[in-house]
């Protein structure tokens, strides 16, 4: 088999190793809602977290009070028909205090508990029928919150004892929303008119929806979630098609002025990449975002840099990663499409430095990279070293130089964001090291 063909043949295996070779090996499975999808998490204070799981028309709500170590059911549909009707589908959850929790539902309704999940009541919201109901709910605190449907925003200032309904800005479709302050509502909307340009728009109201201001928004195509850490700092996650099948770029945008301007802080591809889906922040510096098929990124400097992370446990079975909750400085919870819940618990979440950490004869660092990649390798005189993309194609013209007799440096600054492989062919053996370039 010729060398380039061998690289193509090994690409799938190497892509798997790219994800499995994670920086954090502290993810562990702590619970499983068998046969369900984990839809969303929310946490009140410290170790109190609730999650919604869904299987067809049946939903379940589970709760932990010890930071994810143990879970219990606080609600579950037990019949396909309730009072002769299908159960309502859960869309999102907000858990602002130990006692108050609200679940947004399809068909324009919500569920609420005021005793920590012991009892639940359902309420109908009087707005014109929206097929998907309320996709997002965001509580700024125990009193102030908003639910977002396709064409309406429902705002409450008393913990959803009462609420007001507002039409979407200019009647456009709302894709996702967040509250930046008790009086500030932010939405990302777009047209669905059959044209290739969806006309993404960002709107913000600082008077509870009486007036809306529109600000320029970057070309996004597939926004998934928006979250404001405070009144000015906000993040969005999503994707944009690469033109190769269903693969998407994984995108993160940040605003530091309340949505008036946005900057792209991550644009990359990690193996099977169908875009990013959810995010959560512990504070303005520490955050985590998740995407499909085990893509996880941390930031500990407010989005200036992002650290790719995953684990063999999360990657197993290649499930889409759906939701995340970052509830303590060194702890996060992730739920996936297979109903599994994973917890990260470590004594540090600092960004990995750019120095070799082991005695591996073929160690590659830094990873992720931006401008340079170094490989520690005892390369013989006749050995070769090359860079390939994720499709097994050699990248021509990459400058390289030997730092010392055991280290080679590649200049990867011309490469676009994505997954690559440094391949050493020496003494009849091929050593391949996957790495990620971030922009």
Domain segments of the chain: what residues?
13-345, 354-437
Per DSSP, 141 falls in state S
CA distances for 185 relative to 139, 153, 155, 342, angstroms: 11, 9, 9, 32
Give the residue among 251, 266, 234 at the shortest CA–CA distance from 437: 266
What pLDDT is stored for residue 16 in this prediction?
38
Number of Cβ atoms within 10 Å of the Cβ of 93: 22
Which residue in the block uniquely carries the two structure tokens 């996709």? Answer: 135
Tokens encoding 3? 């060398």
User: Residue 423: its pLDDT value, please?
Assistant: 83
Q: What are the structure tokens assigned to 41, written together?
A: 């998490």
Query: How does DSSP classify residue 86?
Result: P
Give the separation between CA 229 and CA 181, rounded to whole angstroms. 10
What was the pLDDT predicted at 82? 66
The CATH number, out of the four listed (3.10.580.10, 1.10.1030.10, 1.10.540.10, 2.60.40.10), of the domain defined by the range 354-437: 2.60.40.10
Q: Over the Cα atoms of the chain, what is R_g?
A: 23
Indicate if the alpha-carbon torsion angle 7, 8, 10, 12 is positive or negative.
positive
Q: What CATH number does the domain located at 13-345 have?
A: 2.130.10.10
Give SS3 for 324.
strand
pLDDT of residue 366: 79
Helix (H, G, I), strand (E, B) or coil at 56: coil
What's the pLDDT at 250? 80
Only one residue has tokens 């994800």, namely 19
Closest CA to 18 of 400, 296, 409: 296
| Spatial contact of 388 and 10, defined as CB atoms under 8 Å apart | no
Please report the DSSP string for 180-248 in residue order.
EETTEEEEEEE--SSSS----EEEEESSTTSS-EEE-----SEEEEEEESSSS-EEEEEEEE-SSTT-E
Q: How many whole angstroms from its chain centre is CA 70?
A: 24
Q: How far apart are CA 85 and CA 24, in angstroms?
A: 46
Tokens standing for 118?
């012991």
pLDDT per residue, tens digit, the chain (439 aa), is 444 444 443 443 344 333 333 344 578 889 999 889 999 999 988 799 999 999 877 899 999 999 999 999 999 998 776 666 777 889 999 999 999 999 999 888 999 999 999 999 999 998 877 677 888 999 999 999 999 998 899 999 999 999 999 999 988 888 899 999 999 999 988 765 544 556 678 999 999 888 999 988 776 666 789 999 999 999 999 877 777 766 677 889 999 999 999 999 988 876 555 678 899 999 999 999 998 777 888 999 999 988 887 665 665 555 677 799 999 888 899 999 889 999 987 644 433 334 333 334 567 777 778 888 888 776 666 678 888 886 677 888 888 888 777 788 889 999 988 778 888 877 666 777 778 887 6
CA distance 336 to 334: 7
Q: Where are the beta strands (DSSP E) in 45-125?
A: 49-55, 58-64, 72-76, 90-94, 101-105, 109-113, 121-124
Nearest in space to 343 (alpha carbons), one of 32, 51, 28, 43: 28
d(CA 95, CA 61): 12
Q: Which tokens is 134 given?
A: 């309320």
- The pLDDT value recorded for residue 147 is 95
The tokens 């549909």 sit on which residue? 77
């Amino acid at each position: 088999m010729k060398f380039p063909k061998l690289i193509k043949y090994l690409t799938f295996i190497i892509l798997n190793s790219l994800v499995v070779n994670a920086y954090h090996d502290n993810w562990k499975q702590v619970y499983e809602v068998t046969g369900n999808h984990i839809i969303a998490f929310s946490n009140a204070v410290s170790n109190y977290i609730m999650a919604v799981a869904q299987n067809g028309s049946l939903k379940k709500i589970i709760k932990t009070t010890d930071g994810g170590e143990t879970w219990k059911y606080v609600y579950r549909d037990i019949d396909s028909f309730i009072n002769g009707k299908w159960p309502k589908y859960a869309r999102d959850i907000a858990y602002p205090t130990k006692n108050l929790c609200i679940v947004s539902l399809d068909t324009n309704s919500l569920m609420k508990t005021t005793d920590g999940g012991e009892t639940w009541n359902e309420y109908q919201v009087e707005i014109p029928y929206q097929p998907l109901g309320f996709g997002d709910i965001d509580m700024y605190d125990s009193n102030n919150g908003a639910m977002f449907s396709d064409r309406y925003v429902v705002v409450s200032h008393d913990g959803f004892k009462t609420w007001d309904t507002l039409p979407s800005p200019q009647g456009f479709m709302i894709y996702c929303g967040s509250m930046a302050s008790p009086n500030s509502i932010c939405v990302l909307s777009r047209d669905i008119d059959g044209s290739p340009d969806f006309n993404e728009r960002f709107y913000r109201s600082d008077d509870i929806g009486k007036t809306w201001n529109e600000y320029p928004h970057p070309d996004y195509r597939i926004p998934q979630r928006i979250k404001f850490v405070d009144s000015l700092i906000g993040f969005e996650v999503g994707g944009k098609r690469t033109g190769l099948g269903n693969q998407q770029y994984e995108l993160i945008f940040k605003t530091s002025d309340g949505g008036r301007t946005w900057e792209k802080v991550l644009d990359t591809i990690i193996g099977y990449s169908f875009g990013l889906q959810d995010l959560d922040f512990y504070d303005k510096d520490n955050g985590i975002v998740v995407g499909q098929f085990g893509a996880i990124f941390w930031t500990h400097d407010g989005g200036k840099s992002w650290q790719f992370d995953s684990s063999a446990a999360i990657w197993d079975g290649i499930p889409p990663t759906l939701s995340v909750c970052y509830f303590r400085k060194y702890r996060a919870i992730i739920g996936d499409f297979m109903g599994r819940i994973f917890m990260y618990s470590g004594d540090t979440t600092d960004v990995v430095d750019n120095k070799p950490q082991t005695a591996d004869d073929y160690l590659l660092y830094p990873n992720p990279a931006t401008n340079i990649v170094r490989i520690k390798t005892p390369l013989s005189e006749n050995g070769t070293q090359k860079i390939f993309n994720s499709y097994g194609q050699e990248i021509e013209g990459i400058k390289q130089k030997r730092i010392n007799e055991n280290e080679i440096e590649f200049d990867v600054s011309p490469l676009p964001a994505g997954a690559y492989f440094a391949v050493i062919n020496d003494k009849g053996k091929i050593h391949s090291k996957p790495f990620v370039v971030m922009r």
